[in-house]
Chains A and B, each alone.
Chain A
Amino acid sequence: MHVFAEEMKRSLRSWLSFTLAISGTLVVFGVFFRTLRADAQLLNDILENFPLEFRAAFGFADVDMATIEGYFAFLLGYITLIGAVFALKQSLTLLSEEGRRKTTDFLLTKPIGRARIFGAKFTAVLVQIVVQNILLWITAFVFVRFILEEPMSPRLMLLMTGSVFFVQLFFVGLGFAVAAAAQKLKSAVPLTLGIVFFFFALQMLHESLRDRKLSFLTPFAYFKGSDLIRNVAYDAAYIAATLIVFAGFSLLAWLIYRKKDFAG
């Protein structure tokens, strides 16, 4: 329990800033919506002028930005991006902490097995993400219902905000596997940004090419706002893909970590 508590304590500052960024983005851009909805037709007309590929790449090709659902779908695309950066950065940071800061000789020589250390770090990241998502959902719900006073379906809102969580799971698995496999990770942030933007670029490419096979390569394509609005449900194939990547990479991370050599 003490390793978990220590990891949580060490993560607190980063968690707070990212959680504020996520919920803050929602609120700040949500406020814009009040102005936008008054001139809804004008907005859609302006956006129509952009080329289709451009609109697709930036996530407003097939949603009506003048409705709260459409606007939310667009906005959540970017909130997901912030969430993905947090999930990957935290996973890389926590599992590589000892190797990076050379505290291996402290923690791993204590009377505690590697399973418990790995478990504590893994749980710490998951708890941080779960709480972050609960706060995101509460913020979204309160904001839409009481500030914007829009009648958005709670189920749709849950699906939309929940997609942030699933994308984060994808990056948690990936992050743990990379951190376990890397001999020495100097700094987590540049690697995080590189990996997340690679997947985001893949998504932009996919939006232009519209190839379903390609879409499985990037979690940003799994939970498209326009699909959620149309089906009011997740695509089971994508949920399966997310869970397989999360479970598979997490397992791989553990298999590497349990036999990893920590040379001085």
Chain B
Amino acid sequence: MNNVIEISKLTKYYGKARGIIDVSFAVRQGEIFGFIGPNGAGKSTTIRTLLGLLFPTSGSATIFGRDCIRYGSEIRRGIGYLPAEVYYYDNMRVLELLKYSASFYGRVDLNRIHELAEIMDLELGRKIDDLSYGNKKKVGIVQGLLHRPKLIILDEPTSGLDPLMQKKFFELIREENRNGATVLMSSHILSEVQKLCSRVAIIKEGRVIKLEEINALRQTAYRKVRLEFISGVPDSIAEAPGVSGLTRENGEVTFLFAGDINDLVRRVSAAPLKNLTIEEPDLEEIFMHYYSDIE
């Protein structure tokens, strides 16, 4: 199986500040690879080094089998990139910007711009300056995909997109993937990676701490549970398998849960509840309790 991206012991320091340390992983052709970690873990640093925006302190990375610093401009011909934060030339109109973007890739089918804009519900005649952040993000998506890249790199792609657009966007990425594009996507939201990716690298404090098949991650659905009991908290809850990071305050108990939900429901039903919330925890919280011992 061919690797589209190969990263080997990539290290980047900003002066003395840590960027990433000894990051190594490979992305296979045709897969959607997730790159997850809390904010500040080094996801963007890794991606920016792949794109030639940063120069590594040591280590190397290849894309399409070629060194990403030495052959940067040739490699980038085959890459579509959506940055975490989108900024464009304010005084340009959307179509003008997209055509400018297309001009770097030689012959680009301009119908493709209209096609993508329609899918993402983007008005081409508007001035960049007048766009909301969500709409700028859509411009980013269209300009990242208009040249039919072989490798799509997405850095925190869904921030700023409403749920409906997120769904459309994911469909679009899946479609590109079916057509042969390899995808590297960074995120700090576990559920979106779980939805889309086949494998993930987990990065923490600059180091990749784990490479996992998504099925392993999918089996463990992390939930943040908050229970408020009318009288006291039953002891059986703290003893349930899969409970961690439990805090207790008067009649209220909060914990992360990654076990059998039926078992938990049985235990909870033992005492009358005042309130109950179950939500998705931040990656930071998951990391604190489930990955804190992996180095």
Size bracket of the B interface: 20 to 34
A109 and B73 contact, CB distance less than 8 A? no
Stretch at the interface among B101-109, B115-123, B191-199: B101-109
The docked-state distance in angstroms from the alpha carbon of A82 to that of B157 is 46
A262 and B104 contact, CB distance less than 8 A? no
**Contact string against A for B residues 166-184, beta-carbon threshold 8 Å, 1 for contact and 0 otherwise:** 0000000000000000000
Chain A residues, Cβ within 8 Å of B90 = 101
**Distance in Å from the Cβ of A233 to the closest Cβ of chain B?**
45
A105 and B83 contact, CB distance less than 8 A? yes
B52 and A103 contact, CB distance less than 8 A? no
A111 and B54 contact, CB distance less than 8 A? no
**Contact string against A for B residues 47-90, beta-carbon threshold 8 Å, 1 for contact and 0 otherwise:** 01001111100000000000000001111110101011111111
B84 and A264 contact, CB distance less than 8 A? yes
B85 and A109 contact, CB distance less than 8 A? no
**Distance in Å from the Cβ of B32 to the closest Cβ of chain A?**
20
A109 and B76 contact, CB distance less than 8 A? yes
**Contact string against B for A residues 222-264, beta-carbon threshold 8 Å, 1 for contact and 0 otherwise:** 0000000000000000000000000000000000000101111
A101 and B73 contact, CB distance less than 8 A? no
Does A147 interact with chain B (Cβ within 8 Å)? no
Which of A6, A10, A111 meets B76, CB within 8 Å? Answer: A111
Closest to A262 in B: B53
Q: Count chain B CB atoms within 10 A of each CB in A10, A101, A104, A111 and give the residue with the most.
A: A111
**Contact string against B for A residues 4-15, beta-carbon threshold 8 Å, 1 for contact and 0 otherwise:** 001000100000
Which of A106, A111, A264 meets B88, CB within 8 Å? Answer: A106
Chain B residues, Cβ within 8 Å of A113 = 72-73
Chain A residues, Cβ within 8 Å of B79 = 109
Chain A residue total in the interface (Cβ 8 A)? 21
A111 and B81 contact, CB distance less than 8 A? no
The docked-state distance in angstroms from the alpha carbon of A101 to that of B48 is 18
A104 and B74 contact, CB distance less than 8 A? no
Chain B residues, Cβ within 8 Å of A261 = 14, 53-55
Q: Count chain B CB atoms within 10 A of each CB in A105, A108, A262, A264 and give the residue with the most.
A: A105
A101 and B87 contact, CB distance less than 8 A? yes
Beyond A261-B14, A263-B48, is A108–B53 a contact (Cβ under 8 Å)?
A: yes
Q: Count chain A CB atoms within 10 A of each CB in B48, B85, B90 and give the residue with the most.
A: B48
Chain A residues, Cβ within 8 Å of B74 = 111
Closest to A260 in B: B55
Chain B residues, Cβ within 8 Å of A2 = 100, 103-104
Chain B residues, Cβ within 8 Å of A105 = 53, 81, 83, 85-87
Closest to B87 in A: A102
Does B11 interact with chain A (Cβ within 8 Å)? no
Chain A residues, Cβ within 8 Å of B48 = 262-264
Does B158 interact with chain A (Cβ within 8 Å)? no
Chain A residues, Cβ within 8 Å of B44 = 264
Closest to B84 in A: A264
The docked-state distance in angstroms from the alpha carbon of A246 to that of B58 is 34
Quick one: which of A84-126 are within 8 Å of B by CB? Answer: 101-106, 108-113, 116
**Distance in Å from the Cβ of A11 to the closest Cβ of chain B?**
12
The docked-state distance in angstroms from the alpha carbon of A262 to that of B100 is 21
The docked-state distance in angstroms from the alpha carbon of A261 to that of B19 is 12
B14 and A263 contact, CB distance less than 8 A? yes
The docked-state distance in angstroms from the alpha carbon of A95 to that of B243 is 55
**Distance in Å from the Cβ of A261 to the closest Cβ of chain B?**
5
Chain A residues, Cβ within 8 Å of B100 = 2, 6
Chain B residues, Cβ within 8 Å of A104 = 53
Closest to A102 in B: B87
Chain A residues, Cβ within 8 Å of B51 = 108-109
Chain B residues, Cβ within 8 Å of A108 = 51-53
Chain B residues, Cβ within 8 Å of A103 = 87-89
Chain B residues, Cβ within 8 Å of A264 = 44, 48, 83-85
22 A–B contacts, CB within 8 A, in A order: A2-B100, A6-B100, A10-B91, A101-B90, A103-B87, A105-B81, A105-B83, A106-B83, A108-B52, A109-B76, A109-B81, A110-B76, A110-B104, A111-B73, A111-B104, A112-B104, A261-B14, A261-B55, A262-B48, A263-B53, A263-B54, A264-B83
What would 14 more interface pairs be, CB under 8 Å, given A2-B103, A105-B83, A264-B44? A102-B87, A104-B53, A106-B83, A108-B53, A109-B52, A109-B81, A111-B73, A111-B74, A111-B75, A261-B14, A263-B14, A263-B45, A263-B53, A264-B85
Report, nearest first, the 4 A-B pairs whose CB atoms are least far apart: A102-B87, A111-B77, A105-B83, A110-B104
Binding site for B on A (CB under 8 A): 2, 6, 10, 101-106, 108-113, 116, 259, 261-264
Binding site for A on B (CB under 8 A): 14, 44-45, 48, 51-55, 72-77, 79, 81, 83-91, 100-101, 103-105, 143
